């Protein structure tokens, strides 16, 4: 490793003030990939001070100029796509096709967010008084605290940081402890693209030592968080009490509904990809199938057959279809749920760790399918975040919708049917932030809003035409050019 991995504060690459570090490992084989600053509240203070200072000039930099830097970052990401994808596979395990997709989302988001720099539309509207002008414009909020998970370690920081910076905010960025390297590349690229010092500040370290102090810090005005529902709600509580804006993207328990008239071969492809892609560790992963009782057994057989054939291994190997889980703790969680599942449904595929041969040093678990699971069984209700699928029988579309909507979470849902009437009823009635028809639960595109209902979110949406909403305040401006006192509702009555 030629260059050390350091925090990026005020345009300088720095160790943690304490000098402490933590190690990053490859989950496929345990290789040591590097050491990173184990920062603390004092480093957060430095980063907030830098971001506060930089905000003074960044907010006055014309938005199209801010956006050009984001665009240039997009160009650099595109040039380095393959290297970044390989580094990501080494760091968190998902297979190369998927890490390429993750980086591509960063490129797409850069171009999309850069375009916003020349739009960022406000509203002008007639005043109710003569000789008076009225308009609303977007204003940046100030310093944004960005806290991200490890499962989309390039895409998620892109969704947050690119719009935040285009809008004129400065940022303090704390990436997940399992994927520091991708955050380091992200920040290096923005430095290279010409971002002024202090606009983006990167602080490595744990949730308790860096994340929590960011939530508490009075100099941070908005927190954008993606991660588990438990941590997100804690942040909402603390940050909310301090009067901060808190934008949350949290857990999921996404369902694919399969009706008796569906194309079962297509549904099988979609289920296998949605349930076992990224080893089940996507926020939009399908972890329950709500299938019409007439086709339950046939579909379970098809899905199980495919799950058993999936090739586990190092994601850098082109033959691998399912990589490792991100760390040992995730494997333990999956094992615990599989043990619970054995009492809740019929195990039709997988059901154990995978540790033979080349897998010995990695965190692997077999793709696992339970059939005939009750809709309220723990494995059909709780987020597992691993390669475990529960198939639940339903008797009608109405029942499927009701079971879907009873979940604590509401990120994405999907329906397979050949009946256009049922498809439209489902589009209307499924209460999730994203609904797919004849498509799995994953595959969001950056130019549509992304986010979920209930325990998945708190009303914000990332990306799409909503991308600036979490990071801007609306400012309404009235200009009176009548030259006399006009008293709106009073003179207007
Ligand atoms: P997590 O444990 O909640 O961690 C997310 C981030 O928060 C990490 O950077 C973590 O730091 C930090 N953190 C932990 N405790 C904190 C605290 N008390 N205060 C402030 N920050 C804290 O989630 P994860 O296990 O990394 O990610 C998996 C979860 O993310 C799943 O529930 C998944 O559904 C969800 N997710 C949701 C979406 C979505 O868009 N809805 C997308 C992807 C993932 P450390 O890494 O240092 O602990
Ligand atoms: Mg790692």
CATH of the domain at 125: 3.40.605.10
Question: What is residue 338's DSSP assignment?
Answer: H
Residues 14 and 202: beta-carbon distance below 8 Å: no
Residues 47 and 182 in one domain: yes
Residues 209 and 303 in one domain: no
For residue 373, what is the domain's CATH number?
A: 3.40.309.10
Please report the pLDDT score of residue 492 as a whole number.
77
Closest C-alpha to ligand 1, atom 19: 212
485 part of a folded domain: no
Q: Which atom of ligand 1 is nearest to the CA of 249?
A: 41
Closest C-alpha to ligand 1, atom 31: 228
Residues 176 and 292 in one domain: no
Measured in angstroms, how far is the CA atom of residue 151 from the centroid of ligand 1? Answer: 9
Closest CA to 370 of 387, 339, 347, 344: 347
Helices 96-116, 155-166: crossing angle, 10 deg rounding: 10
Closest C-alpha to ligand 1, atom 16: 207
Chunked into runs of 10 residues, the chain (493 residues) has average pLDDT values of 89 98 98 98 99 98 98 98 98 98 98 97 96 98 98 98 98 98 98 98 98 98 98 98 98 98 98 98 98 98 98 98 98 98 98 96 98 98 98 98 98 98 98 98 96 97 97 98 93 79
Measured in angstroms, how far is the CA atom of residue 267 from the centroid of ligand 1? Answer: 30
Measured in angstroms, how far is the CA atom of residue 291 from the centroid of ligand 1? Answer: 31
200 part of a folded domain: yes
Measured in angstroms, how far is the CA atom of residue 435 from the centroid of ligand 1? Answer: 24
The overall longest dimension of the chain from CA atoms, in Å, is 85
Measured in angstroms, how far is the CA atom of residue 328 from the centroid of ligand 1? Answer: 16
**Which of the ligands is closest to the CA of residue 239?**
1
Residues 132 and 82 in one domain: yes
Residues 462 and 377 in one domain: no
Closest C-alpha to ligand 1, atom 39: 249
Please report the pLDDT score of residue 294 as a whole number.
98
Closest C-alpha to ligand 1, atom 8: 176
Q: Mark whether 286 is an active-site residue.
A: no
Residues 53 and 190 in one domain: yes
Residues 398 and 385 in one domain: yes
Active-site position among 105, 249, 344, 383: 249
Measured in angstroms, how far is the CA atom of residue 175 from the centroid of ligand 1? Answer: 9
**Which of the ligands is closest to the CA of residue 330?**
1
Residues 217 and 273 in one domain: no
Q: Which atom of ligand 1 is nearest to the CA of 251?
A: 34
- Tell me the best of 44, 91, 149 to mutate to test the pocket of ligand 1, counting ligand atoms within 8 Å of each CB and taking the most: 149
Residues with CB under 6 A from ligand 1: 147-152, 174, 176-177, 206-208, 211-212, 215, 226-228, 231, 234-235, 249-252, 283, 383, 385, 411, 452, 456
Q: The domain containing residue 383 runs over which residues?
A: 254-437
Measured in angstroms, how far is the CA atom of residue 358 from the centroid of ligand 1? Answer: 30
Residues 167 and 21 in one domain: yes
- Tell me the best of 24, 152, 205, 231 to mutate to test the pocket of ligand 1, counting ligand atoms within 8 Å of each CB and taking the most: 231
DSSP readout, 95-141? -HHHHHHHHHHHHHHHHHHHHHTT----EEEE-SSTTEEEEEEEEE-
Closest CA to 186 of 88, 61, 264: 88
Measured in angstroms, how far is the CA atom of residue 282 from the centroid of ligand 1? Answer: 12
CA dihedral for 62, 63, 68, 74, sign (positive or negative): positive
Which residues pair with residue 365 across a beta bridge? 353
Q: Which atom of ligand 1 is nearest to the CA of 452?
A: 41
CA distance 369 to 352: 11
**Which of the ligands is closest to the CA of residue 148?**
1
Closest CA to 228 of 204, 244, 211: 211
Q: Which atom of ligand 1 is nearest to the CA of 456?
A: 41
Distances (CA, A) of 381 to 187, 283, 343: 38, 15, 15
CA dihedral for 421, 406, 276, 100, sign (positive or negative): positive
Q: Mark whether 105 is an active-site residue.
A: no
The tally of domains found in the chain comes to 2
Closest C-alpha to ligand 1, atom 15: 207
Active-site position among 105, 116, 283, 344: 283
Q: CA-based angle 68:69:70, to the nearest 5?
A: 90
Residues 130 and 74 in one domain: yes
451 part of a folded domain: no
**Which of the ligands is closest to the CA of residue 28?**
2
360 part of a folded domain: yes
Residues 69 and 114: beta-carbon distance below 8 Å: no
CA distance 235 to 230: 9
Residues 132 and 78 in one domain: yes
Closest C-alpha to ligand 1, atom 26: 149
**Which of the ligands is closest to the CA of residue 93?**
2
φ/ψ region of 171 (left if φ > 0, alpha if ψ in -120 to 50, else beta) reads: beta
The pTM score is 0.98
482 part of a folded domain: no
Please report the pLDDT score of residue 98 as a whole number.
98
Measured in angstroms, how far is the CA atom of residue 147 from the centroid of ligand 1? Answer: 8
DSSP readout, 179-239? -HHHHHHHHHHHHHTTPPTTSEEE----IIIIIHHHHH-TT--EEEEES-HHHHHHHHHHH
292 part of a folded domain: yes
Closest C-alpha to ligand 1, atom 5: 227
449 part of a folded domain: no
CA distance 476 to 469: 15
Q: Which atom of ligand 1 is nearest to the CA of 227?
A: 30
Closest CA to 414 of 260, 284, 249: 284
CA distance 392 to 321: 25
CA distance 164 to 54: 14
Distances (CA, A) of 60 to 64, 118, 166: 11, 15, 12
Residues 178 and 320 in one domain: no
178 part of a folded domain: yes
């Amino acid at each position: 490793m030629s260059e050390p991995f350091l925090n990026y504060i005020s345009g300088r690459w720095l160790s943690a003030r304490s000098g402490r570090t933590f190690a990053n490992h490859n989950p496929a084989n345990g290789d040591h990939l590097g050491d990173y600053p184990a920062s603390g509240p004092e480093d957060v203070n430095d980063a907030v001070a830098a971001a506060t200072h930089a905000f003074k000039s960044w907010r006055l930099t014309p938005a199209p100029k801010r956006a050009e830097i984001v665009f240039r970052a997009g160009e650099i990401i595109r040039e380095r796509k393959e290297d970044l994808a390989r580094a990501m596979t080494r760091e968190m395990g998902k297979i190369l096709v998927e890490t390429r997709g993750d980086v591509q989302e960063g490129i797409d988001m850069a171009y999309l967010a850069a375009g916003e720099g020349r739009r960022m539309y406000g509203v002008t509207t007639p005043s109710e008084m003569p000789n008076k002008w009225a308009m609303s414009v977007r204003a940046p909020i100030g310093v944004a605290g960005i806290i991200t998970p490890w499962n989309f370690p390039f895409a998620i920081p892109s969704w947050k940081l690119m719009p935040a910076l285009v809008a004129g905010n400065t940022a303090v960025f704390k990436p997940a402890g399992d994927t520091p390297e991708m955050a380091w590349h992200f920040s290096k690229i923005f430095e290279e693209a010409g971002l002024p010092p202090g606009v983006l500040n990167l602080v490595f370290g744990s949730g308790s030592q860096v994340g929590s102090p960011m939530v508490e810090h009075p100099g941070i005005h908005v927190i954008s968080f993606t991660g588990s529902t438990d941590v997100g709600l804690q942040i909402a509580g603390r940050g909310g009490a301090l009067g901060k804006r808190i934008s949350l993207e949290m857990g999921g328990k996404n369902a694919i509904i399969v009706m008796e008239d569906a194309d079962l071969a297509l549904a099988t492809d979609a289920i296998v990809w949605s349930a076992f892609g990224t080893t089940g560790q996507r926020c939009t992963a399908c972890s329950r199938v709500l299938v019409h009782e007439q086709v339950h057994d046939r579909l379970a057989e098809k899905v199980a057959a495919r799950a058993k054939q999936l090739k586990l291994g190092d994601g850098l190997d082109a033959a691998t279809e399912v990589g490792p889980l991100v760390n040992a703790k995730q494997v333990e969680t999956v094992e615990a749920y599989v043990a619970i599942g054995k009492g809740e449904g019929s195990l039709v595929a997988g059901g154990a760790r995978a540790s033979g041969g080349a897998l010995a040093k990695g965190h692997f678990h077999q793709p696992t399918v339970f059939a005939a699971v009750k809709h309220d069984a723990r494995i059909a209700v709780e987020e597992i975040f691993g390669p475990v699928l529960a198939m639940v029988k339903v008797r009608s579309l109405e029942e499927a919708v009701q079971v879907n909507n009873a979940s604590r979470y509401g990120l994405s849902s999907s329906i397979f049917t050949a009946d256009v009437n049922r498809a439209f009823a489902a589009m209307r009635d499924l209460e999730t932030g994203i609904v797919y028809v004849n498509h799995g639960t994953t595959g969001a595109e950056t130019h549509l809003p992304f986010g979920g209902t209930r325990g998945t979110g708190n009303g914000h949406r990332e990306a799409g035409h909503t991308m600036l909403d979490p990071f801007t305040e609306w400012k309404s401006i009235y200009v009176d050019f009548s030259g006399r006192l006009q008293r709106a509702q009073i003179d207007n009555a």
